[in-house]
Amino acid sequence: MRSGPPVASYIVSDHVFRAPKGTRDILWPDSARWRNLVEVFSEVVGSAGYLEVIPPMFEHVEVFQRLGEATDVVRKEMYSFEDKGGRTIALRPEQTASVVRAFAEHRPALPYKAWYAGPNFRYERAQKGRFRQFEQVGVEVLGPTDPHLDAEVIALGWRFYERLGLRRVTLLVNSLGSAEDRVRYVEALRTHFTVDQDALSEESRVTLEANPLRVLDSQREADAPLIAAAPRMLDHLSADAEAHFAGVTEALDAIEVPYTISPRLVRGLDYYVRTTFEFAAEALDAAQNAVGGGGRYDGLAADLGAPETPGVGFALGVDRTLLACDAEGVFDAPAAAVDVFVVDVTGGDEAVVLTDLIRVDGLRADRAWDGRSMKAQMKAADRSAAALAVIVGEDEKAAGTVIVRDLRGDSGQETVTRDQMIQTLRTRLR
């Protein structure tokens, strides 16, 4: 007699777990497209001498608090917790602070030109194009104050979108002035908004207390008239900051990167001075159409313990950039995971050897399992979307040959010796 509990009790739960709110699984072929995007990015920035850095996904919370207590990212959206050693840790909400912290810790030679790719975490209101775990690719450069460097950084973002095939991206640029200009401008804004503060939304009144600049970032309708009437940063620039901004825009003109000057562009993080910029994908809904942005952050390195070192960089959202690619019908996902599908109707031993031969040669090959019929294996070959099938039956096995069949075009099939197989596959795949 069977002993032990009835089988059904082994089923722990009939509950189907789902990924937490604001996160998602990226399955193939989207995952392949994702990886291709990072590859293209690494090529574009690699061509300008940027080197990859891989910082940890969590840091001491203080690293991110340097981003400014008035930013939503720090104040409301950070995943922070105490670890078992009693440290207060935060999952990174962005990577500039991590890269600059790494710079302060290791002091690499200047200029330090770095790129990164990886996930960030923000406790945001999840919706299309806004996730709690989202991916960014980005660059940071520490050292020079040269406005041509700001233009190089901006242009790399632009060229990257071009390489993806995106045609409806617009670039907005602005200058927030020097740190001193910014202080004066913030006071001008404080006065402007405080006079009419009853007309502001409740949220913006709170923001006004902490940082009047961030009120300009508000998307709330109630705030629009006062924001439209606010003083413009570009009218408050010192001569030095104005010359720097002119250096940036003239360099962009010289390399024909089109931009629009947007005097209200302040961006979400507090550390920016001088240049700020944002890329918007016109093919996406206006609320979520920022695909990337960045700027200069000359004070951040010193805040994180390095000697005073200017910096400039950007972060581009991978999730949203791919949504923009969908909307424009560009940068397609790959159609097939493999080039060749091996169909072995002699029991499977041939497939063991043939798939290995093909893979070792650098082509991608898959096969069917469990000794399926010819018909079932040909179906699996079709499903794989491989361009070619290598077919072995008893006759081929005896003769030391294989059949190479075209699965997608109309070039039919041929029988070749095993020695000719790789060459035949390569020729037909061309």
Q: Give the rounded distance of the alpha carbon of 404 from its chain centre.
A: 40
Rounded distance between C-alpha atoms, residue 1 and residue 396, angstroms: 51
Report, in Å, the least distance between residue 121 CB and ligand AMP: 9
Integer-rounded Cα Rg, in Å, for the chain is 28
Amino acid at 22: G
Taking the least distance from each CB to ligand AMP, the nearer of 129 and 380 is 129
Applying CB under 6 A, what is the total number of residues that bind ligand AMP?
18
Residue of minimal CB distance from ligand AMP? 317
Report, in Å, the least distance between residue 205 CB and ligand AMP: 23
Taking the least distance from each CB to ligand AMP, the nearer of 80 and 401 is 80
Taking the least distance from each CB to ligand AMP, the nearer of 147 and 292 is 292
Rounded distance between C-alpha atoms, residue 423 and residue 359, angstroms: 13
Taking the least distance from each CB to ligand AMP, the nearer of 310 and 317 is 317
Stretch that binds ligand AMP, among 10-18, 288-296, 359-367, 378-386 (CB under 6 A): 288-296
Q: How many residues does the chain have?
A: 430
Residue 258 main-chain phi, psi, to 5 deg:
-75, 140
Residue with tokens 């302040």: 266
Report, in Å, the least distance between residue 420 CB and ligand AMP: 50
Report, in Å, the least distance between residue 207 CB and ligand AMP: 16
Site track 290-319 with ligand AMP (rule: CB under 6 A), x = hit? xxxx---------------------x-x-x
Q: What does the block give as tokens for 120?
A: 């960030």
Taking the least distance from each CB to ligand AMP, the nearer of 91 and 425 is 91
Which residues on neighbouring strands pair with residue 172, listed in sequence order? Answer: 260, 278
Rounded distance between C-alpha atoms, residue 57 and residue 133, angstroms: 11
From candidates 24, 33, 35, 130, binder to ligand AMP by CB under 6 A: 130
Burial zone of 148 (CB within 10 Å; 0-12 exposed, 13-18 middle, 19+ buried): middle
Evaluate whether 355 touches 422 at the Cβ level (below 8 Å). no
DSSP-derived 3-state class of residue 341: strand
Rounded distance between C-alpha atoms, residue 395 and residue 392, angstroms: 8
Site track 240-269 with ligand AMP (rule: CB under 6 A), x = hit? ---------------------------xx-
Report, in Å, the least distance between residue 199 CB and ligand AMP: 27
Stretch that binds ligand AMP, among 78-86, 125-133, 139-147, 381-389 (CB under 6 A): 125-133
Stretch that binds ligand AMP, among 51-59, 130-138, 388-396, 405-413 (CB under 6 A): 130-138
Say whether residue 124 binds ligand AMP (CB under 6 A).
yes
Evaluate whether 272 touches 96 at the Cβ level (below 8 Å). no
Taking the least distance from each CB to ligand AMP, the nearer of 126 and 234 is 126
From candidates 72, 94, 152, 366, binder to ligand AMP by CB under 6 A: 94
Residue with tokens 């402007």: 192
Say whether residue 154 binds ligand AMP (CB under 6 A).
no
Say whether residue 277 binds ligand AMP (CB under 6 A).
no
Stretch that binds ligand AMP, among 121-129, 153-161, 170-178, 233-241 (CB under 6 A): 121-129
Residue by residue, DSSP assigns 73-141 as HHHTS--EEE-TTS-EEEE-S-SHHHHHHHHHHH-PPSSEEEEEEEEEE-----BTTB-SEEEEEEEEE
Rounded distance between C-alpha atoms, residue 6 and residue 25, angstroms: 34
Which residues on neighbouring strands pair with residue 276, listed in sequence order? Answer: 174, 295
Evaluate whether 96 touches 292 at the Cβ level (below 8 Å). no
Q: What does the block give as tokens for 338?
A: 């493999």
Taking the least distance from each CB to ligand AMP, the nearer of 122 and 405 is 122
Report, in Å, the least distance between residue 22 CB and ligand AMP: 8
Report, in Å, the least distance between residue 233 CB and ligand AMP: 18
Going from the C-alpha of 10 to that of each of 2, 3, 77, 221, the distances in angstroms are 15, 14, 40, 55
What is the helix, strand, coil percentage profile of the chain, to 5?
A: 40, 20, 35
Residue 81 main-chain phi, psi, to 5 deg:
-160, 160
Say whether residue 122 binds ligand AMP (CB under 6 A).
yes
Report, in Å, the least distance between residue 70 CB and ligand AMP: 14
Query: What part of residues 367-396 is at the interface with ligand AMP (CB under 6 A)?
Result: none
Rounded distance between C-alpha atoms, residue 221 and residue 6, angstroms: 62
Say whether residue 136 binds ligand AMP (CB under 6 A).
yes
Taking the least distance from each CB to ligand AMP, the nearer of 132 and 405 is 132
Q: What does the binding site for ligand AMP look like in residue numbers (CB under 6 A)?
A: 94, 122, 124, 129-131, 134, 136, 267-268, 290-293, 315, 317, 319-320
